[in-house]
Structure 1
Amino acid sequence: MVDKIHDSDGETTAYRIFGREKHVHKVFGDGKPADVFLWRDKKVSAGVLGGVSAIWVLFDVLEYHLLTLVSHGLILALAVSFLWSNATTFINKSPQRIPEVEIPEDLVLKLASALRIEINQAGAFLRDIALGKDLKMFLCVMAGLWVLSLVGSCCDFLILLYISVVLLFTVPIFYEKYENQVDSFAKKATAELKKQYDVFDANVLSKIPRGPLKDKKRV
Structure 2
Amino acid sequence: MSHNTSDSDNEITTTKAKLFEHDIHQALGGKEVADILLWRNKKVSAAILIGMTVIWFLFEVVDYNLVPLLCHISITVMLVLFIWSTAAQIFNWNAPKIPDIILQDDLVEDLASIFHRGFKQLLPMLHYISSGIDLPRFLLIIFSLYILSVIGTYLSFVNLLYIGFLCMLTLPIGYERYEEEINNLVGNFIMDLRKKYKKFEKRYLSKIPRRSVKEKKTM
Same fold, judged at TM 0.5 (above): yes
Where does 1:114-133 land on structure 2 (aligned, <5 Å)? 118=119, 122=123
Aligned residue identity for 1:17: K
- Equivalent residue, structure 2, for 1:60: 60
Does the C-alpha gap of structure 1 residues 197 and 59 become closer, same or farther in structure 2, counting only changes over 3 Å? same
Structure 1 residue matching 2:183: 3-state secondary structure: helix
Residue segments in structure 2 that go unaligned for 5+ positions in a row: 1-14, 87-107, 213-219
1:133 CA drift (Å): 5.2
Deviations 1:16-35 (A, max 9, x none): 523x3322111111100111
Does the C-alpha gap of structure 1 residues 74 and 178 become closer, same or farther in structure 2, counting only changes over 3 Å? closer
1:70 partnered with 2:70: yes
Aligned residue identity for 2:199: V
Aligned residue identity for 1:149: S
- Equivalent residue, structure 2, for 1:37: 37
Deviant stretches of 4+, over 3 Å: 71-78, 124-130, 132-135, 137-141, 200-212
Deviations 1:132-173 (A, max 9, x none): 654726534432321221111221211111111111111111
Q: Give aligned pairs, total.
A: 170
Deviations 1:43-73 (A, max 9, x none): 1111111111111111112221112212334
Does the C-alpha gap of structure 1 residues 164 and 209 become closer, same or farther in structure 2, counting only changes over 3 Å? farther
By percentage of residues, which structure has more helix? Answer: 2
Aligned residue identity for 1:64: Y
**How large is the RMSD of aligned CA atoms in angstroms?**
4.1
TM-score (norm 1): 0.59
- Equivalent residue, structure 2, for 1:179: 179
By percentage of residues, which structure has more strand? Answer: 1
TM-score (norm 2): 0.59
Distance 2:141 2:52 in 1: 30
Where does 1:62-211 land on structure 2 (aligned, <5 Å)? 62-74=62-74, 118=119, 122=123, 134=133, 136=135, 138-206=138-206
Structure 1 residue matching 2:160: 3-state secondary structure: helix
Between the aligned residues of both structures, percent identity stands at: 33
Does the C-alpha gap of structure 1 residues 65 and 167 become closer, same or farther in structure 2, counting only changes over 3 Å? same
Structure 1 residue matching 2:149: 3-state secondary structure: helix
Q: Which has the higher contact order (CA 8 A, sep 6+)?
A: 2
Distance 1:145 1:211 in 2: 35
